[in-house]
Amino acid sequence: MSAEGMSAAAPLIAARDLVLDFHVKSAFGAAHGLRALDDVSLDVRPGEIVGLVGESGSGKTTLGKAILGAHRPGAGRILYRGTDIAALDGAGRRPFRREMQMVFQDPLSSFNPRFTIASSLALPLRLHRICPEDAIPATVAALLQRVGLRPEHAARYPHELSGGQLQRIAIARAISVTPSLIVADEAVSKLDVSVRAQVLNLLNRMNRETGVSLIFITHDLGVARFLCHRIAVMYFGRIVEIGPTAEIFANPRHPYTRSLLDARHGGSGHVATDADETALSIVDPARACNYAARCARRAPECLTARPRLDFDAAGHAAACFAPLPPASGESVT
């Protein structure tokens, strides 16, 4: 059991030692493996909002999709209330489908353009037998109202609605089957500033009212700070730091987290260059810190061993041999 498991509430989701490889084919046919998830463990407790942050390609979407069952991990377990669902096939997974829903970045492409909003919202209600057939129109109207839209929106087609309205409907669809977990993948990234606040407030309210857990995937730390109880920072397929949101912001331990936070506060004028791993003498990349190439605090052992996530009493962990000193006194907010 990981240190995370020591907390009082039993986790809703416990991902353990997930490994996931993609087989990438180059233009000339040479295939090579890409390790999208490299020994990742993550707990999500009931009612908790966990943020996955990191740059594109860091594995945050892959982790979300693996938990939902859209990707099958090569190794590791995903425990849903104690049942390992990673190993289940399609039929075995079916009872868990209703429990886990997803909201995507682009709302327009997550609706069938030929269905009215009413039809799109009715589908999961029917599929999971949420309410009797004759109660569906009223349920749809109630769902729309809950996300701040009017019942007449039900007759519209997706292209007739704005991105913000559609994203609210995508959230309505996700909560309609009373799931215990929603994975929201960059759900507000494409929205305009004024609409983003509406959708963030809605997600926050849904979490409070229904107790649904959220895995909130974003590259925007400001958004993560508003919404998430805990934040996991990912870098190249690994979680490099995880902890309560306030801790991560006030007291980042991993140099990568620190650089992400610094980037938010703008214009230091310091320009980092792209990684040049060939210049480092890493004998075995599987036994080196994957951030070593870009790290200003690199120590000799970073090139020969893998730092582990060791949790402190506050549930804060950084996978780093040379972590930043706690509470350095420098304010990052």
Partner 1 sequence: MSAAAPLLEVSNLCATFAGAGREVRAVRGASFTIEVGQTLGLIGESGSGKTVTGLAILRLLPAHASVSADRIAYRGENLAAMSDDEFRRLRGVELGMIFQDPAGSFNPAKRIGWHLREAIRRRGGEVERWEAEAGDMLREVGIRMPQRVLGAYPHQLSGGMLQRALIAMVFLLRPALIIADEPTTNLDNLVERQILALIRAHQAKVGAAILFVTHDLGIAGALCDRIAVMYAGEIVEIGPAAAVLERPLHPYAQGLLATSRSLERADAELHELPGEPGGVPPEQGCAFAPRCIHVMAACRERHPAMTEVEPGHGARCLLHER
Q: Is there a contact between 124 and 130 (Cβ–Cβ < 8 Å)?
A: yes
Say how far apart CA 17 and CA 309 lie, in whole Å: 12
Whichever of 263 and 286 has its CB closer to partner 1, that residue is 263
CA-CA-CA-CA torsion sign (248, 209, 139, 178): positive
Whichever of 267 and 325 has its CB closer to partner 1, that residue is 267
Contact range with partner 1 by CB under 8 A, out of 37-45, 269-277, 296-304, 308-316: 269-277
Binds partner 1 (CB under 8 A): choice among 52, 85, 221, 233: 221
Cross-strand partners of 75: 19
CA 116 remoteness from chain centre = 29
280 sits near partner 1 (criterion: CB under 8 A): no
Q: Is there a contact between 305 and 288 (Cβ–Cβ < 8 Å)?
A: yes
145 sits near partner 1 (criterion: CB under 8 A): no
Whichever of 139 and 259 has its CB closer to partner 1, that residue is 259
Contact range with partner 1 by CB under 8 A, out of 8-16, 100-108, 200-208, 299-307: 200-208
Binds partner 1 (CB under 8 A): choice among 23, 150, 159, 270: 270
Contact range with partner 1 by CB under 8 A, out of 13-21, 80-88, 214-222, 322-330: 214-222
Q: What is the 3-state secondary structure (H, E, C) of 107-124?
A: CHHHCCCCCCHHHHHHHH
45 sits near partner 1 (criterion: CB under 8 A): no
Q: How many residues bind partner 1 (CB under 8 A)?
A: 37
Contact range with partner 1 by CB under 8 A, out of 7-15, 74-82, 111-119, 156-164: 156-164
Contact range with partner 1 by CB under 8 A, out of 36-44, 84-92, 134-142, 259-267: 259-267
29 sits near partner 1 (criterion: CB under 8 A): no
CB of 187 to partner 1, least distance (A): 15
Q: Annotate each residue in 63-102 with x if it binds partner 1 (CB under 8 A) or - if it does not, as one string.
A: ----------------------------------------
Binds partner 1 (CB under 8 A): choice among 8, 28, 82, 194: 194
266 sits near partner 1 (criterion: CB under 8 A): yes
CB of 258 to partner 1, least distance (A): 11
Say how far apart CA 96 and CA 86 lie, in whole Å: 11
332 sits near partner 1 (criterion: CB under 8 A): no
Using only C-alpha atoms, what is the Rg of the chain?
21
130 sits near partner 1 (criterion: CB under 8 A): no
Task: Kindly list the residues in this chain that would bind partner 1 in the complex (CB under 8 A).
Answer: 55-56, 162-165, 192-198, 200-201, 204, 219-223, 225-226, 259-260, 263-264, 266-274, 276
